[in-house]
Amino acid sequence: MKEALEQIRTAALDAIAQAENSRAVDDIKVKFLGKKGELTSILKQMGKLSAEERPVIGQLANQIRGELEQSIAAAQQQLKEKQLLAQIKAETLDVTMPGKKFDLGKKHPLTLVMDEIKEIFLGMGFDVVDGPEVELDYYNFEALNIPKNHPARDTQDTFYITENTLLRTQTSPVQIRTMEQRKPPIRVISPGRVFRSDALDATHSPVFHQIEGLVVDKNITMSDLKGTLELFIKKLYGEDSVVRFRPHHFPFTEPSAETDVMCFHCHGKGCRLCKGEGWIEILGAGMVHPKVLENCGIDPEEYSGFAFGMGLERVVMRRFAIDDIRLFFENDKRFLEQF
């Protein structure tokens, strides 16, 4: 029996020394010291021993039990510390490691130039106003002196939603909304998206951007229009820009003009950029038609005004030598990252 006890001691101490985690140590404890453990079952056989042997074996068994309990506790403590160290090591934060890199967004080229144009007009005392993209026929056409069956409607292929609602084909309806809400003096620009059911190709898109301008006050004349637009174009294209006004027709202005800038590439000689014209058309403009003022409750005897409208995409395409309008709307990062 003494030998059996010594074997248990050796086996248990071996097992403890090899245990890799506290779970394994727990198992060893059960295996040797538990109710059905090896040491316990030996002690149950003590009855068979003689009276002289019993205290000797009993003492040895208790000594081994004590020894094993101590070893187990020490092993548990050691393993706990080991585990803690491993955990600390695993969770250490190396502040010198390079961080994760996030791509920063960039302004869209349309936004870049739009912001520049807004800045120019803000500097001249204009406000920026907004209007709805889903618009009433009344604001998009009727109030702008374009009644039903007016030929001007044919030139603006309209997306109708119902008979009276549509996607605005121009930013000009914001003129009407502004004049309904504000009293002169009025000095606003209104940038935004417009929609026409054009087939998509390199130079046409069913959605594009316009910037509308409107000034209404007492004694506003054609020379105010010319001065303002000339100043604007020189800020946008450079002080040496040459500007010209050509007579034109718009239903909502009288007289009306189209405004060109001398081609900044060939200086009027004619090249690919200006399609041999020497001039590049920038915007439409004119003196607000008295009927339009009347439609908004402004007395044309007392007040006058001028308005203008320009497309944004063409300006941006020439600025950055972009040859396909579709690039603006595809959101290809390789394109957008260039600006």
**Interatomic CA distance for residues 168 and 194, integer angstroms:** 6
Counting contacts by CB under 6 A, is residue 228 touching ligand DAH? Answer: no
92 sits in the region (left: phi over 0; alpha: psi -120 to 50; else beta) called beta
Site string (174-193) toward ligand DAH, x via CB under 6 A: --------------------
DSSP 155: G
**Interatomic CA distance for residues 80 and 86, integer angstroms:** 10
Query: Which residue's C-beta sits nearest to ligand DAH?
Result: 309
Query: Is the preceding omega at residue 173 within 30 degrees of 0, hence cis?
Result: no
DSSP 280: E
Question: Angle, to 10 degrees, between the axis of helix 22-33 and the axis of helix 53-91?
Answer: 170
- Minimum distance, C-beta of residue 116 to ligand DAH, in the bound complex (Å): 20
Residue ranges in 271-290 that form contacts with ligand DAH under rule CB under 6 A: 284-286
Counting contacts by CB under 6 A, is residue 250 touching ligand DAH? Answer: yes
Counting contacts by CB under 6 A, is residue 251 touching ligand DAH? Answer: no
Options 76-84, 108-116, 121-129, 301-309: segment touching ligand DAH (CB under 6 A): 301-309
Please identify which residue in 135, 137, 212, 313 interacts with ligand DAH, judged by CB under 6 A.
Answer: 212
Please identify which residue in 309, 312, 313, 315 interacts with ligand DAH, judged by CB under 6 A.
Answer: 309
Counting contacts by CB under 6 A, is residue 173 touching ligand DAH? Answer: no
- For residue 82, which amino acid is it? K
Counting contacts by CB under 6 A, is residue 303 touching ligand DAH? Answer: no
**Interatomic CA distance for residues 142 and 134, integer angstroms:** 15
Strands 279-288 and 304-311: antiparallel
Closer residue to ligand DAH, CB minimum distance, 257 or 316 = 257
Closer residue to ligand DAH, CB minimum distance, 92 or 155 = 155
- Minimum distance, C-beta of residue 248 to ligand DAH, in the bound complex (Å): 8
**Interatomic CA distance for residues 127 and 333, integer angstroms:** 33
Q: Which of 170, 135, 179, 134 is nearest to 152 (CA)?
A: 170
- Minimum distance, C-beta of residue 213 to ligand DAH, in the bound complex (Å): 7
Counting contacts by CB under 6 A, is residue 205 touching ligand DAH? Answer: no
What are residue 142's phi and psi, to 5 degrees?
Answer: -50, -55
Counting contacts by CB under 6 A, is residue 140 touching ligand DAH? Answer: no
Interacting residues toward ligand DAH by CB under 6 A: 170, 172, 212, 250, 253, 284-286, 307-309
